[in-house]
């Protein structure tokens, strides 16, 4: 069955960095676009970043642009989110999600999330 | 910035129908997807491309769109439908994905 497993979350000080990973299995990772979505405590869902199946195009939310970078390694079936200059407002559960297509689509498979806490 | 507006909460008795709206400028020209999120769990898609239903999602869930409003309808509501629901679109003018503000469905 299709599965996504996030890792790399933790507690980090403001201004610090963290790299999240998302290991994919049960489908041909290299043919699907991927997303990162986050959810702050008690809040709604917020899209963070998107990357096309081949890594050729990527987009990110204004709230993280210039600080977060989405990437993928199709040889390792893994999606990444490099997070720099972290702020308190980046505290959230971070989910990776699979697109229904190689480009934009709906999010048809989600991981269980990894928690990032930015605090001094 | 593009905003998708949903009612914060909807309450419905078991066996009745719940309707959750999602309003946004030009939503009529965009594909709308709906996600269900139960407490402590990851979201699950329940409707995609306005009105398509994934396998495994009960027929009680349906989607529609009219003008600037999309609607998720849950018929014959059950206690297990209690969750937060989010609409979502791709804002192709600004190259970003947008989630609605979310609606908490409470089964009385």
DSSP string computed for B34-87: EEEE-TTS--EEEEBTTTB--TTS-TTEEEEEETTEEEEEE-S--GGG-EEEEE
Q: What SS3 state is found at B3?
A: coil
Question: Which residues in chain B touch residue A46, judged by CB atoms under 8 angstroms apart?
Answer: 99
Q: Which residue of A has its CA nearest to B34?
A: A106
What is the rounded average pLDDT of the residues A16-38? Answer: 98
Contact A104 B90 (CB under 8 A): yes
pLDDT band at A65 (very low <50, low <70, confident <90, very high): very high
Classify each residue of B89-99 as buried b or exposed e, where b means 16 or more C-beta atoms within 10 Å of its C-beta. Answer: bbbeeeebbbb
pLDDT band at B19 (very low <50, low <70, confident <90, very high): very high
B68 has a pLDDT exceeding 80:
yes
Q: Is B71 on the interface with A (CB under 8 A)?
A: no
Question: What share of chain A has pLDDT > 70, as a percent?
Answer: 100
Q: How far is B33 from chain A (nearest CA, A)?
A: 7
Backbone angles phi, psi at A88, to 5 degrees: -60, -35
Q: Which two tokens stand for residue A83?
A: 């997070």
A86 has a pLDDT exceeding 80:
yes
pLDDT at A45: 98
Q: Is B99 on the interface with A (CB under 8 A)?
A: yes
Q: Which residue of A has its CA nearest to B36?
A: A45
Contact A106 B98 (CB under 8 A): no
B12 has a pLDDT exceeding 80:
yes
Q: In terms of DSSP bridges, do strands B9-12 and B103-107 run parallel, antiparallel, or are they unpaired?
A: parallel
Contact A111 B42 (CB under 8 A): yes
In whole numbers, what is the pLDDT of chain B averaged over residues?
Answer: 96
Contact A26, A2 (CB under 8 A): yes
pLDDT at B92: 86
pLDDT at B21: 98
pLDDT at B93: 87
Q: Which two tokens stand for residue A77?
A: 């079936």
Q: Which residue of B has its CA nearest to A42?
A: B39
pLDDT band at B2 (very low <50, low <70, confident <90, very high): confident
B1 has a pLDDT exceeding 80:
no
pLDDT band at A49 (very low <50, low <70, confident <90, very high): very high
What is the rounded average pLDDT of the residues B46-75? Answer: 97
| Pairs across A and B, CB distance < 8 A | 53
Q: How far is A100 from chain B (nearest CA, A)?
A: 10
Question: What share of chain B has pLDDT > 70, as a percent?
Answer: 100
pLDDT band at B26 (very low <50, low <70, confident <90, very high): confident
pLDDT at A94: 98
């Amino acid at each position: 069955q299709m599965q996504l497993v996030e890792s790399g979350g933790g507690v980090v000080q403001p201004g610090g960095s963290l790299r999240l990973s998302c290991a994919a299995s049960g489908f041909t990772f290299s043919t699907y676009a991927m997303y990162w979505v986050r959810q702050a405590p008690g809040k709604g869902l917020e899209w963070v970043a998107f990357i096309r199946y081949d890594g050729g195009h990527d987009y990110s939310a204004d709230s993280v642009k210039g600080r977060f970078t989405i990437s993928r390694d199709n040889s390792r079936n893994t999606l990444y989110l490099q997070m720099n200059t972290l702020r308190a407002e980046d505290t959230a559960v971070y989910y990776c999600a699979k697109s229904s297509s190689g480009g934009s689509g709906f999010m048809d498979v989600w991981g269980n999330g990894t928690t990032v806490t930015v605090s001094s | 910035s593009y905003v998708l507006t949903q009612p914060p909460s909807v309450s419905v008795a078991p066996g009745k129908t719940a309707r959750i709206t999602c309003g946004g400028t030009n939503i009529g020209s965009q594909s709308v997807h709906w996600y269900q999120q139960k407490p402590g769990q990851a979201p699950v898609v329940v409707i995609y491309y306005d009105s398509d239903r994934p396998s495994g999602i009960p027929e009680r869930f349906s989607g529609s769109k009219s003008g600037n409003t999309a609607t998720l309808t849950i018929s014959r509501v059950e206690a297990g439908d209690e969750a937060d629901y989010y609409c979502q679109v791709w804002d192709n003018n600004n190259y970003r994905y947008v989630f609605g503000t979310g609606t908490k469905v409470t089964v009385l």
